[in-house]
Every structure is written in structure tokens, then in C-alpha cells.
Amino acid sequence: MATRRRRLSRPRPSLLSGLSHVALVIWALLIILPLLWTFLASFKNNAEIFGDALQLPQALRWEAWGRAWDKAHVGRYLLNTVIVVFFSTLGTMVFGSMAAYVLARYRFPGNRLIYYFFVAGMAFPVFLALGPLFFVVQQVGLLYTHTGLVLVYIAYSLPFTVFFLAAFFRGLPESVAEAARIDGASHTRTFFQIMVPMAKPGLISITIFNVLGQWNQYLLPLVLVARDEEDWVITQGIASISTLAGADADWPSLFAALSMTILPVLVVYVIFQRQIQSGLGAGALK
Amino acid sequence: MERLRKYGFIAGFLIVPVVLYSVFVISPYIQAFQISLTDWDGYAASPAYVGLENFAKLFDDDAFWQALRNHGILLLVLPLATIVIALFFSFLINLGGGSHGAGMRGIWGSKFYRVVFFFPQVLAVAVVGVLFRAIYRPDEYGVVNGVLIKLGFDPVGWLVEPSIALWAVIAVMVWQAVGFYVVLFSAGMAAIPKDYFEAAALDGAGRFRLFFSITLPLLRDTVQVGWVYLGIAAFDGFALIQVLTGDKGEPDGTTHVLPVQIWKTAFNYSEYGYASAMGVALFFLTVTFAVLTLRTTRRERIEF
């Protein structure tokens, strides 16, 4: 055993191992440095920003953060995004899991048809629907409203959510649901009190997937809530601040706004990184 | 009674999702196919039916062909670069530390790398675009140019030089995507039984052999999934390109892509008929790509 172990872990050429480390470190720096630079640039004044790009700020100036929060409305945009994403993810999960459950575990005429009806939505690029979608939302009177945006987010998240969760519900054991039925639990009760708790891992993964997707959405808000600046979500806000920064020559507040957007995401990511990675990975491999 | 209750339950659970989905997803898609055959401008109550005229116009549209060329480049480079880099890193992270007793292990610090590499994935593409607009600034105040000047080179107009702009955009896409595929491939590598590596290492296989003769063939399915996802991403690029180089596809249309063109044609020029025709073209391109990839790379599954 001892000889075998020595053979297996015999030192490989250390040059190779060294190069591997260098490659990994370089890629890590390529990710960390731009973000760090943005964060530091938010403390610079305009003179420093138009000075040496690699210079540290001379002082910790928080003014740009204040300007970004008040004048550039980053606070407003973040709040809008939180509200929209909260309701749209909630709606996606409630309606998505209801549809997926029924389609996965009940036999009725038209079941397959409705299932493929949902799944087909994954094959179409959203750009195809863009023009008509604008007029549909206008017709139901929800154009330029957060309600309209929430409903559209839910609708476009359903295909993948239903597809993923149907597979998950199908895999749950029949015996527990059967026992509940014999005990006289209604269908609705069986779903909420027995099946949902059992499907928790799948529900968590797909919730994370939807929160991230909807938080990062840029195209749909650009089409559906473009008119009033106070309705904008954060991605729209940042893109517009970026254009304005050139005009107003207020670069520090652009970097402050960027930092304000990135930091909360970073904190949430560091706390939940394991779940986030497995959630997105599981989503892709299904 | 029980039957009635069951069907009532099914209908109750399905009604809201089906209605939402039909109204906001299915009906716009169906309308898009109809509108693509008209000259609708967004106002006319009864737009004229023009047959395939929009599609004929598409064939004579230089911007369309330019966009197709760009999608072609993206389709080749984005998946290839991302997958090669991601495979390399995930191999190092998972198996690069050599074999130790019970099995292979990752290189030192692999957990840290995995967390860092994945982070760009959770950032909004629009935010990443704004970030890189500052980093790519064409004058000497951008980060990349600042480094270049320090090293004694001239500043480069990353997003304004026609020959470089698209590559600068692709670099950002790869920057953001790699971490996700590292995680994806890592999951695939974790599923390969340890004794395969052990046996190969016993037979004296080095790390190159372990990678090319064992890891890569057994990871085929995962790589294929990655390829399809990246290929579909190559037909998008909307948020990044719109933010990075503006909706004109500057410079000189070298970063023209169909999604940006569709958005512009519909909402800036109100040519909904023509925009829908582009959407239909985009749909068929994407579907053709996905079907072809899955067809040509299909092989028997390897069960562990």
C-alpha cells in the first residue's frame, strides 16, 4: 500500500503545476480587479478619474455615493427591482409548481398537450415576440406598469419552471400521496402540505434560477416600463446613468452606482454561493 | 363526485398559468408570424398583407448580412473559447492536484477559484456592459489602456476600432460565461468514478493523458449541453452589445446583431412587419443550430 501511494502521488514536473497556478491566479485577477477598480473609482474625483487609471483615490470620498443614491435614483431603481422580482418570482413559483404538479401527477385528457404547450415556449427567442408583446400588454391596459412587468416575467419564466418542476414532481414517491388520500386529505391539501415540502430542494434551485434571471432582465423592462423614469428597474437605470455620466461629466457617481448595484449581489452570492451554483447547474443539465 | 372534484382541482390549478402563458407568450409569438407578412407600422387598424416581401427585403439588407456574419463569428468563437478555457480550469480545479489515496483531488485553493470564477455569472449583463465600457475606454483613462501605457504600448480604441470591437465584445462574453461552465463541467467530472482515474494513473498516465483520454470522452454529454447553450447565446448578445457599443452597432456595424436590430426596427422605426420578419429569421436560425448540433454530435450514452 505504501509503495502504491508513493507511486500515485509522485511529484509531477513542478513547472506544469506552477503554470496551472499562474493560469488560475490570472483568471481570478481578471475577475477581481475590474470590480475592485470600479469600487475604488467611486471614491475618486473627476481629476483622479481622468488621471492615471491605476492610481488609488487620495481620500475616501462618499459624496459620489450620495449623488448616485439621490440624484441618479439608484435607491429608487433598486427598490423597484426588489418589488418586481419579489412578486414575479413568487408568482412564477406558485403558478409554475401548481401547473407542473398537475401535469406530472394527474392523468386527464389533454395532459400531454398542455405540457408540450408549455415546454414549446423554451424554443422561441423572446425577440420574436417583442413587438406584438408590447401591444398585447397595452391592450390589457398594463403597459408602463409594474403589474404588467410582473405578469410578463411570470409568463416567460413558466416554460422552464414547469419543465424542471414537472420532472421533479414525477420523481417523488407515490406512497406518501396515496397515504394522504386514504386519510381523506383533499387534492389541494395534499399538494400544499405534502408534495410542496417534499419538493423543497427542486423548488429552492428553481427559485434561485428565477430570482437571478428576473433580477438581471434588461430587455423586457426596456420595452414595457420605458416611459417613466421612476418605474425603471436597476439594469435600465445603470445603462442610462452610464450614458448620462458622459454628458454630465460625473463619472464618480456612475462608479458609485455600479458599486451599489454589485455589492448587494456580491453579499448574497457569497452567502448562498453553494445553492446558487447547484441551482443554476441543475437547471442547465435538466 | 370524486371524479368531479379531481377535474375541478386540475382545472383550478391550471387555469391561471395557462391563461397568463397564452396571453403573454403564445399569442405574441403567433402574432409575430402573422405580422411578418404585413407592413404594419403599429398604428394602422388593418395593415396590408405583403406576402414574403419583408423576407425579400431582408435578403437585400446589408445590415442583416452584417449581423449574420457577426453571429457566425460569435457562433464559432464564443463556444470554442469558453469551453476550452472552462474545461482547462475545471480539470485543474477538480483533478489537477493529482491522485491521493482514495481518488483525485483538486489543485490547492480550488474552492476559492470556483467561487470567484462563477461570480460574473450573477451580475446583470447590462451592469457588466457598463462596467466594461469604463474599462475599455478608448483614451488613456481606461483600465486596459492604463495598463498598456504602463507597459509602454499605445492606447487602443477597444470599442471604436472596427477590426477589434467585436472581439472586445466576445472577450466580455467569455469573461462572464467561463465560471458557469467551470461549475457545469465540475459537476460532470464529479460524476466520473474515481477508480477510472486511479487505474489510469496506476498505468502511468500523466495529467495530459488523464484529461484527453479519460475526462474529455466521459464528459461528452455535458460539453454538448454547454455547446448548445453557448450557441443559443451567440444568437443573442442584446444587452451587452446595446450597452457596450450602442444600438447603431458601432463602429461601422461591426457589432451588429439581429436582436438589437429587431428592437431598433420595432421601437425606433415602428416597422413592426419588418422587425417580425427578422424575428422569424432569428427563430429559424436558432432552431436549425440547436437541431443540427444535437443531431451531429449524438452518440450512445455512456453509463457509469
Q: Is B94 a member of any domain?
A: yes
List of residues 6+ apart from A176 with CB closer than 8 A: A194, A198
Assess A214–B contact: CB distance below 8 Å, yes or no: no
* Integer Cα distance of B180 and B117 in angstroms: 8
- Residue A150 CB: number of other CB atoms within 10 A? 22
Given pLDDT bands bounded at 50, 70 and 90, which one contains residue B8? Answer: very high
Q: Is A216 a member of any domain?
A: yes
Closest by alpha carbon to B94, among B197, B203, B217, B222? B197
Given pLDDT bands bounded at 50, 70 and 90, which one contains residue B33? Answer: very high
CB of A208 closer than 8 Å to CB of A275:
yes
Average pLDDT across chain A, whole number: 86
Query: Mean pLDDT across the stretch B219-244?
Result: 89
CB of B280 closer than 8 Å to CB of B32:
yes
Which pLDDT score, from 0 to 100, does residue A7 have? 45
List of residues 6+ apart from A282 with CB closer than 8 A: A205
Contact B263 A28 (CB under 8 A): no
Q: Is A120 a member of any domain?
A: yes
- Residue B196 CB: number of other CB atoms within 10 A? 16
CB of A253 closer than 8 Å to CB of A240:
no
Query: Mean pLDDT across the stretch B140-152?
Result: 82
Contact B27 A137 (CB under 8 A): no
Q: Which of B7, B13, B18, B108 is the best residue to mutate to test the A interface, defined by the most A CB atoms within 10 Å of its own CB?
A: B13
Q: In percent, how much of chain B has pLDDT > 70?
A: 93
- CA–CA min distance B38, chain A (Å): 13
Please give the torsion angle defined by the CA atoms of residues B113, A211, B241 and B63, in that order, rounded to the nearest 10 degrees.
130
Q: Three-state DSSP class for B99? A: strand
User: Which chain A residues are Cβ-neighbours of B123 within 8 angstroms?
Assistant: 216, 262, 265
- CA–CA min distance A95, chain B (Å): 6
Which amino acid does the sequence have at A5?
R
Closest by alpha carbon to A256, among A84, A85, A71? A71
Residue A172's domain comprises 80-232
The number of distinct structural domains making up chain B is 1
The number of distinct structural domains making up chain A is 1
B116 HSE (CA, 13 A, CB side): 20
Q: Which of B3, B18, B25, B284 is the best residue to mutate to test the A interface, defined by the most A CB atoms within 10 Å of its own CB?
A: B25
Phi-psi region of B50 (alpha: psi -120 to 50; beta: other; left: phi over 0): alpha
Query: pLDDT digits over A232-277, tens only?
Result: 999 999 988 887 776 666 788 889 999 999 998 899 888 888 877 7
Q: Is A184 a member of any domain?
A: yes
Q: Which of B131, B140, B158, B173 is the best residue to mutate to test the A interface, defined by the most A CB atoms within 10 Å of its own CB?
A: B131
Q: Is A113 a member of any domain?
A: yes
Given pLDDT bands bounded at 50, 70 and 90, which one contains residue B103? Answer: low
CATH number at residue B187: 1.10.3720.10
Q: Is B143 a member of any domain?
A: yes
User: Which chain B residues are Cβ-neighbours of A15 within 8 angstroms?
Assistant: none
User: Which chain A residues are Cβ-neighbours of B54 within 8 angstroms?
Assistant: none
C-alpha cell at B119: 461570480
Q: Is B53 a member of any domain?
A: no
Contact A216 B123 (CB under 8 A): yes
Q: Three-state DSSP class for B271? A: coil
Phi-psi region of A173 (alpha: psi -120 to 50; beta: other; left: phi over 0): beta
Q: Is A173 a member of any domain?
A: yes
CATH number at residue A98: 1.10.3720.10
Question: Is residue A10 scored above 50 in pLDDT?
Answer: no
Question: Is residue B99 scored above 60 in pLDDT?
Answer: no
Query: pLDDT digits over A186-237, tens only?
Result: 899 999 998 999 988 889 888 988 998 899 899 999 999 988 889 999 999 9
* Integer Cα distance of A109 and B125 in angstroms: 42
Question: Which residue in chain A is spatially nearest to B13 when comparing CA positions?
Answer: A98
Q: What are phi and psi of B104, to 5 degrees?
A: -80, 155
Given pLDDT bands bounded at 50, 70 and 90, which one contains residue A5? Answer: very low
Which amino acid does the sequence have at A248?
D
Question: Is residue A279 scored above 80 in pLDDT?
Answer: no
Q: Is A262 a member of any domain?
A: no
CB of B110 closer than 8 Å to CB of B98:
no
Q: What are phi and psi of A2, to 5 degrees?
A: -60, -45
Q: Is A255 a member of any domain?
A: no
Residue B226's domain comprises 62-296
Contact A127 B206 (CB under 8 A): no
User: Which chain A residues are Cβ-neighbours of B199 within 8 angstroms?
Assistant: none
Q: Is B277 a member of any domain?
A: yes
Q: Whole-prediction pTM value? A: 0.88
ipTM value for the complex: 0.87
Which pLDDT score, from 0 to 100, does residue A3 have? 43
